[in-house]
Amino acid sequence: MDTPDFPGWHGTTILGVRKGGRVVVAGDGQVSLGQTVIKGTARKVRRLSPGGFDVVAGFAGSTADAFTLLERLEKKLEAAPGQLARAAVELAKDWRTDRYLQKLEAMLIVTDGRGLYVITGAGDVLEPEHDVAAIGSGGMFALAAARALMDSDLDAETVARRAMAIAADICVYTNGNLTVETIG
């Protein structure tokens, strides 16, 4: 994400785990500028309730950009209540084609307890193949750890918490201060 106009904000780790009829989205709390930790208690996982329909969303990237995308997602969900996949696709289409939105530097993981999706600015709405999705600088570490834990007897939240702890031990842009939301 480092571009000449972009100040070097790094990371986060957001992880979504679907197991046993539950979906957990966990995010760390670290915000870094270059090699400096600016904040360790950021909340990058949010519960949205447009029209009484619960959705959990986690974001990586620029906070202001992510909030813009979350507001747009809420509007899409209000227009299509209970249809997260449709709202996600509509958001991705807008993000890909709208000149203003194209400049946004963030990614989202969203779930309604049934679907689990990664939404990107490239127009992608991806549903994970193995019931685990991850984004951010520590995302691949958390993804690998969660995938390894999925065959265990652990529940979704425990898988997510352990995988996030592993990512925090490896990725310098990820800390162990978690926000965890469960749905389903």
Domain residue ranges of the chain, discontinuous segments joined by +: 9-31+42-183
Residue 11 in this model has a pLDDT that exceeds 80:
no
Q: Within a 10 A sphere around the Cβ of 39, how many other Cβ atoms?
A: 13
Residue 108, CA atoms < 13 Å, CB-side half-sphere: 35
Residues 70 and 109: beta-carbon distance below 8 Å: no
β-strands 106-111, 45-48 pairing = unpaired
Q: Which of 3, 12, 111, 120 is the catalytic position?
A: 12
Instruction: Decide which of 147 and 62 is more confident.
Output: 147
Q: How far apart are CA 8 and CA 132, in angstroms?
A: 28
- pTM for the whole thing? 0.91
User: What confidence tier does 64 reach under pLDDT thresholds 50, 70, 90?
Assistant: confident
Instruction: Write down the pLDDT at residue 52.
Output: 76
Torsion of Cα atoms, 117 then 118 then 121 then 123, to 10° = -50
Residue 66 in this model has a pLDDT that exceeds 50:
yes
Instruction: Write down the pLDDT at residue 8.
Output: 42
Instruction: Write down the pLDDT at residue 4.
Output: 45
User: What confidence tier does 106 reach under pLDDT thresholds 50, 70, 90?
Assistant: confident
Residue 2 in this model has a pLDDT that exceeds 60:
no
Active site residue 12: yes
| Residues with Cβ within 8 Å of residue 135, at least 6 apart in sequence | 13, 14, 58, 60, 107, 108, 109, 118
Q: Residue 180: beta bridge partners?
A: 26
What would the pLDDT profile of 127-176 be if each residue is shown by its tens digit? 999 999 999 999 999 999 999 999 999 999 999 999 999 999 999 999 99
CATH number assigned to the domain with residue range 9-31+42-183, chosen from the 4 options 3.60.20.10, 3.30.70.2190, 3.20.80.10, 3.30.479.10 = 3.60.20.10
3-state secondary structure of 59: strand
